[in-house]
Amino acid sequence: MSKPVVAIVGRPNVGKSTLFNALAGEMISIVKDTPGVTRDRIYAEVSWLDKNFTLIDTGGIEPDSSDVILSQMRDQAQIAIDTADVIIFITDVRQGLVDSDSKVADMLRRSKKPVVLVVNKVDSFSKFMPDVYEFYNLGIGDPVPVSAASRLGIGDMLDEVVKYFPEHDSEEEEDERPRIAIVGKPNVGKSSIINKLLGKNRVIVSDIAGTTRDAIDTAIVHDGKEYVFIDTAGLRRKSKIKEELERYSIIRTVTAVERADIVLVVIDAVEGVTEQDAKIAGIAHERGKGVIIVVNKWDAIEKDNKTVKEYENKVRTVLSYMPYAEIMYVSAETGQRLPKLYDMIDMVIQNQNLRVATGVLNEIMTEAVAMQQPPSDKGKRLKLYYITQVSVKPPTFVIFVNDKELMHFSYTRYLENKIREAFGFKGTSLRFFVRERK
Ligand code: GDP
Ligand code: GDP
């Protein structure tokens, strides 16, 4: 299911990071067990009542002059318009309404995207409310007063935000076609892969019904079946600032991955696998999407009989958190092995949707426990009572035990390996939750 995307836009120092952190809370550490992925605060998962969404902070580095501020705000607003379902436009009651706020508000209004106008630093409603009314002049609706620092008004603000979410992900949910995001650093060959796959196939460049985002989706028919490719390469932004470019590229990746079933992580064979690749692949891993690692430009490197093995070792080392992902060596230039991608995509989709019967799972667990004794601490041994699969995409399991504290990460990993030995689950991460039953 694809989650709505909410983007925060606003001038420097209005409190974007403070609001972002207040909303993201502990959730910010979602990337903690993904080595190689730095904890940058660009995006986070947020839950409010029964709604979940991806929050994006479009703000980057601090500009130093006011004309730079305006152009940077326009860039931020454009990114938000391109990628978000709802935009939080944040202003500052203490600085009051300034000219660049009005200009950005005009831009947001023209985009017709849902905007929630937030006035921050209203630390005391009685003292600052009269100043809040001024923000009606922006013409983008009722200002919502908050104090991000003291978490005042945040609930009311979130109520306004979630009002704009679609009731059900109706049309996108009903769309049975596999959705495949092609992600990777600039110049690894993402567009070339799509173009080569398109070849002489019938082309439908489509606005997928039900999305409120401007996506560049391409439907390709292969063997009578339609696949929808989500390209992150198409939207190129001009910026001289490296940090800003990286931020944009992460935002594009997060929003594309969010909408996808399967993610093709494209790596440049000539350049080799890098930390930046690990960061990008980590986004797909965290979200539990199906993953295929595509090493492109395979035509362009010198090969002998050790090359594949050496490449595999390097990729497995840098992307060590996703041993489950298959690696394919392709060339968008010559088309080598590209048609095989479809079989791989089909297989990964099947695995993402695979359900294992509870009886079978418990047999595997019983056998695993007999082969390797569960850990114990201070004379108390872990007992595993029962395991059941509760959902798919990604396959998610709940294990009932006597004491959660005794369930070590390594023992969960051991059980995961046993389940994978039996069912493969190639291309998909598995999730485990441990619950206590007395
Ligand atoms: P950003 O540049 O938009 O990300 O802004 P920051 O989140 O870094 O905040 C800028 C400054 O405003 C910091 O000194 C914050 O402590 C302060 N600030 C943020 N929210 C509030 C608030 O609700 N009330 C007050 N009084 N100060 C705040
Ligand atoms: P993107 O930024 O990831 O979309 O990358 P592009 O598709 O624009 O490709 C970047 C450059 O790499 C272009 O000059 C392509 O011609 C080249 N390229 C892409 N795929 C291959 C390949 O399989 N082999 C070789 N030799 N070059 C490739």
The residue from 138, 163, 188 where one domain ends is 163
- 254-287 pLDDT, tens per residue? 888 988 999 999 999 999 999 989 989 999 998 8
- 356-406 pLDDT, tens per residue? 999 999 999 999 999 999 999 999 999 999 999 999 999 999 999 999 999
**How far, in Å, is the centroid of ligand 1 from the Cα of 21?**
11
Q: Is 270 helix (H, G, I), strand (E, B) or coil?
A: coil
Same domain, residue pair 51 and 81: yes
51 touches 79 (CB < 8 A)? no
Residue of the CA atom closest to atom 2 of ligand 2: 187
pTM, entire model: 0.77
The residue from 103, 130, 163 where one domain ends is 163
Is 187 labeled as ligand-binding? yes
**How far, in Å, is the centroid of ligand 2 from the Cα of 187?**
6
Give the binding-site residues of ligand 2, using a 6 Å CB cut-off.
Answer: 184, 186-192, 233, 296-297, 299-300, 331-333
Residue from 304, 416, 409, 397 nearest 357 by CA: 397
Which tokens hold the place of 203?
């082309």
The domain that contains 204 carries what CATH number? 3.40.50.300
Is 417 labeled as ligand-binding? no
Average pLDDT, the chain: 86
On the question of pLDDT at 48 being above 60, the answer is yes
Gap between the Cα atoms of 435 and 438, Å rounded? 10
Same domain, residue pair 307 and 286: yes
Report the side by side order of strands in the sheet with 144-145: 43-48, 51-57, 5-10, 86-92, 115-120, 144-145
Pairing of strands 396-401, 384-391: antiparallel
**How far, in Å, is the centroid of ligand 2 from the Cα of 190?**
7
Task: Quote the number of domains for the chain.
Answer: 3
Same domain, residue pair 283 and 400: no
Is this complex's ipTM strictly greater than 0.85?
no
Domain limits at 335? Answer: 179-353
The enclosing H or E element of 284 equals: helix 275-286
Is 169 inside a domain boundary?
no
258 touches 230 (CB < 8 A)? no
Same domain, residue pair 104 and 210: no
Same domain, residue pair 301 and 394: no
Q: Which residue has the higher pLDDT, 237 or 334?
A: 334
pLDDT band at 428 (very low <50, low <70, confident <90, very high): very high
> Quick one: what percent of the chain has pLDDT higher than 90?
61
On the question of pLDDT at 45 being above 50, the answer is yes
Q: How far apart are the first and last CA of the chain?
A: 34
> Quick one: what percent of the chain has pLDDT higher than 70?
86
Is 82 labeled as ligand-binding? no
Q: Please tell me the predicted confidence (pLDDT) of residue 236.
A: 52
* Phi, psi (rounded to 5 degrees) for 116: -105, 115
Rounded to 5°, the CA angle 8-12-16 comes to 35
Number of other CB atoms surrounding residue 373 within 10 Å:
10
Rounded to 5°, the CA angle 53-48-140 comes to 70
Gap between the Cα atoms of 18 and 38, Å rounded? 19
